[in-house]
């Protein structure tokens, strides 16, 4: 293979590694994912203790207290991560990506076009460097579901909380609980929204794996390392422009040569 050059030969196509998000944003994503999985497992136990421990009362194994503690810690972790990620969405490190998940007319229109392509595998489809509109709408829905879980979860937590530390929230919680119809209604909403959230997560993961198999962008790798892979000739033609300089242009072969590091084939390969 010899020395790799950034100048394409006839019939060849150059691929570039492009940073799409910061490593800290990737770390927050996986902390959030882990916390949601823990919440789902512990929530299933809290809702039906016999599911894991057979017949008898949960207190006999002292499992309920442990599960509630783990559930509470994971819940507050979700709140902290969402607040930090919301802040990062206004920073250049995440390319001001709050605009990419809002249900604006442009994002909804782009999501419909992408959904049509993914269902039929026919016709043109736009390429996005960061979050595509279909994924953005999915993320927006997950955020709404998580917000509902946070509100109803806190309502269920307050009756056992310390009035001295949580007195400021108990007044608001009491009003909101009455608006929902009572603690049982809040519990039902909390339980049902969990299934909606988990279904959205499954669809989200499936779509990322699907795109990773059929397209070279490597969406799964981008949330691990913060990079995607794009053909050189695609640069300057992305459908999203958030956080991208307006003067962006396709690099010339000379610019690529100066910015690239030559790689040699390993001996014996």
pLDDT (tens digit per residue) in 211-262: 878 777 667 878 888 888 777 766 666 666 544 444 555 556 666 566 554 4
Pick from 84, 14, 10, 2: which is nearest to 251 by CA?
14
Chain mean pLDDT for the chain: 78
Identify whether 127 is part of a domain: no
36 CB-near residues (< 8 Å, 6+ apart): 74, 78, 146, 197, 201
What would the pLDDT profile of 156-166 be if each residue is shown by its tens digit? 887 777 776 67
Which is it for strands 15-19 and 227-231: parallel, antiparallel or unpaired? antiparallel
Residue 56 lies in a domain: yes
Residue 180 maps to a domain? no
Res 269: pLDDT = 45
Judge whether 133 lies within some domain. Answer: no
Spatial contact of 209 and 222, defined as CB atoms under 8 Å apart: no
Tens-level pLDDT at each residue, the chain (269 residues): 223 345 555 556 777 777 788 889 899 999 999 999 999 999 988 887 765 555 566 556 677 778 888 999 999 999 999 999 999 888 877 777 888 888 989 889 888 988 888 888 887 777 777 788 888 899 999 999 999 999 998 888 877 777 766 766 776 677 677 777 777 888 899 999 999 999 999 999 888 888 878 777 667 878 888 888 777 766 666 666 544 444 555 556 666 566 554 444 444 44
Q: Range of 70's domain?
A: 24-94
Establish if 48 belongs to a structural domain: yes
Cβ-proximal residues to 25 (8 Å cutoff; 6+ apart), any chain:
85, 88, 93, 94, 226
Instruction: For residue 267, tell me if it sits in a domain.
Output: no
Rounded (5°) CA angle 259-261-264? 155
Q: In angstroms, how far is CA 144 from the centroid of its own chain?
A: 13
- How many alpha carbons fall within 13 Å on the CB side of residue 98? 12
Q: Is residue 51 part of a domain?
A: yes
In a domain, 54, yes or no: yes
Q: How many domains does the chain have?
A: 1
Q: How many CB atoms lie within 10 A of CB 79?
A: 15
Joined together, the tokens standing for residue 266 give: 């390993």
Name the pTM for this structure. Answer: 0.77
């Amino acid at each position: 293979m010899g020395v790799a050059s950034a100048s394409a030969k006839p019939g060849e196509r150059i691929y570039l590694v492009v940073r799409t998000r910061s490593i800290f944003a990737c770390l927050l994503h996986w902390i959030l994912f882990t916390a949601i999985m823990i919440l789902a497992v512990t929530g299933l136990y809290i809702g039906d203790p016999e599911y894991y421990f057979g017949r008898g009362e949960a207190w006999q194994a002292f499992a309920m207290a442990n599960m509630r503690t783990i559930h509470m810690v994971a819940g507050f972790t979700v709140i902290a991560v969402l607040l930090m990620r919301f802040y990062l969405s206004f920073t250049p490190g995440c390319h001001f990506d709050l605009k990419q998940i809002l249900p604006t007319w442009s994002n909804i229109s782009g999501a419909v076009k992408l959904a049509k392509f993914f269902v039929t595998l026919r016709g043109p489809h736009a390429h996005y460097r960061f979050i595509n509109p279909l994924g953005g709408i999915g993320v927006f829905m997950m955020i709404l579901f998580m917000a509902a879980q946070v509100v109803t979860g806190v309502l269920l937590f307050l009756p056992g909380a310390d009035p001295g530390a949580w007195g400021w929230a108990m007044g608001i919680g009491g009003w909101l609980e009455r608006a929902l119809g009572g603690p049982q209604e809040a519990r039902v909403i909390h339980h049902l929204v969990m299934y909606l959230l988990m279904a959205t997560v499954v669809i989200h993961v499936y779509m990322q794996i699907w795109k990773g198999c059929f397209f070279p962008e490597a969406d799964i790798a981008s949330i691990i390392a913060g990079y995607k892979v794009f053909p050189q000739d695609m640069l300057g033609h992305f459908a999203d422009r958030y956080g991208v300089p307006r003067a962006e242009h396709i690099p010339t072969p000379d610019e690529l040569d100066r910015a690239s590091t030559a790689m040699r084939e390993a001996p014996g390969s």
